[in-house]
Structure 1
Amino acid sequence: MARYPMRWTACALLTVVVGAGTAGCSDNSNGPSSSASKAASAASSLASRGADALASATASAGKKLDELKGGIDAKDAVRLGRPTTADGRASVKVTAENSASSAKSFGVQVNFTDTSGNTLDTVVVTLSDVPAGKSGDATARSNRSLSGQVKAEVARALRY
C-alpha cells in the first residue's frame, strides 16, 4: 500500500463510490454516507502514513549526508548495479571509485523508484576508507517491502 499511495487512494475512493451506490439500495440504518465516510477516512489515513514514512526516510537520509563534514560532491564517482528483490525488500550494489591520492569514505543516498520515477524509498549507505585509486562496494537495502519493478538511482553522493 505504501508503494503507490495515490493509486491506492484512487482505488479506495472508487470502491467507496461503487459501495455507496449499492449501499443506497439497502435498508441499512447506518446509511451509505456513514460507510462511505469511514472508508474514505481509512483510505486517506493509509495514504498519509505511506507518504509520511517516505518523507521521514528522505529527511533522515538528507540529515545523515548533511552531517558529513568536508564532503564534496561525488555523484559522478558512484555506480549502481541492477536492483534485486528478496523477502520483499529491494537491494542494489553501490560502487564508489576513489580518484583521490588518499583513502576516502563515501556517503551515498540511493532512491528506490517505480518505473514512472516515483520515489518508493530512500536509504543512505556508507563506504568507509576506500583506498586511493581503488573502488569500494556496499549494498543499499530498502527500509521496507517494495513490490513491482523497482529501479534505483543515486540521489546524492559525498566523498569525505
Structure 2
Amino acid sequence: MKRHDVRGLALAVAATAALAAPLTGCSDDTTPSDAASKAASAASEAASAASEAGDALSSATAELGDTLASATAEAGQKFDEFKNGVNAKGDVKVGGVSTDSDGRATAKVTVTNSASSSKSYAVQIDFRDPSGNLLDTVVVTLNDVAASAAKDATARSNRTLSGDVTAEVARAVRK
C-alpha cells in the first residue's frame, strides 16, 4: 500500500470518529455513550495501524535505498575498470522493457562500434518508473565489438520490478 493510501485511510477513520463523537457522545443522562467510546477506540486503532504501516514503509524505503546504493556503487566499480574510456553513449541503443520468468526487468542493449578497430564497452542502464524515479541500475559489458559492427546484450535488473518500467542509457564508455 502506498504511503499516501495509508495516511488517507488513517485520516478518514480518525475524521469519521471525530465527527461521530459529538453526534453520539452523550446519552439522555449526559454520560458518554458506547458509540463515542467505540469511535475513540477505532480512531486510536487507526492511528496505531497507520503508525505501523508508516514504520513498515520506512523500513522498505530504507531497504530500497540500500539496494540502489549498492547497485550504483557496483556500476561505478565496473566503470573504474574502463579507465581512460571514451564516451560512447551515442553508440548505444536500448530497447523496450519486458519481464523475465523471475519477474526481473530486461531490456535489449545494442552497441554499434563507431571506431575503426575492435572495442569493448561498459554500458550503464537505468530502470525508471513513469515519474522518472530510479528503480534499479545495471552495467552491461560487451567485449570485442568489431569495427563498424553491432553487438547485442541484455540488461537485467538486480531485483523484481513491477509496473510501467522504462530503460535508458545512463552512460557508456569504450576502450
Q: Does the alignment reach a TM-score above 0.5?
A: yes
Question: What is the match of residue 58 of structure 2?
Answer: 44
After TM superposition, give the deviation of residue 19 of structure 1 in Å. 5.5
Mapped contact 2:120–2:174 kept (Cα < 8 A): yes
Residue type of the alignment partner of 2:116 = S
Aligned residues: 153
CA contact (8 A) 1:13 1:43 kept: no
**Long gaps (5+) in structure 2:** 18-37
1:31 Cα deviation (Å)?
6.1
TM-score scaled by structure 2?
A: 0.75
| Larger RCO of the pair (alpha carbons < 8 Å, separation 6+) | 1
Query: Structure 2 counterpart of 1:13, which letter?
Result: R
1:61 is the counterpart of 2:55: no
Bigger Cα displacement from structure 2, 149-158 vs 65-74: 65-74
Partner of 2:146: 131
Larger Rg: 2
Ranges in structure 1 where 5+ consecutive residues have no aligned partner: 1-6
Q: Report the structure, 1 or 2, having the larger helix content.
A: 2
Counterpart of 2:173 in structure 1 is: 158
Residue 26 of structure 2 corresponds to none
Q: 1-side partners of 2:151 and 2:50: how far apart?
A: 54
Q: CA deviation at 1:127?
A: 0.5
> How is 1:73-112 mapped onto 2 (pairs within 5 angstroms)?
73-87=87-101, 88-112=103-127
Distance change in 2, residues 1:149/1:37 (3 Å): closer
CA deviation map 1:22-76 (0-9, x unaligned):
7872658x96655443332222111221222122212221222133222110000
- TM-score after normalising by structure 1: 0.81
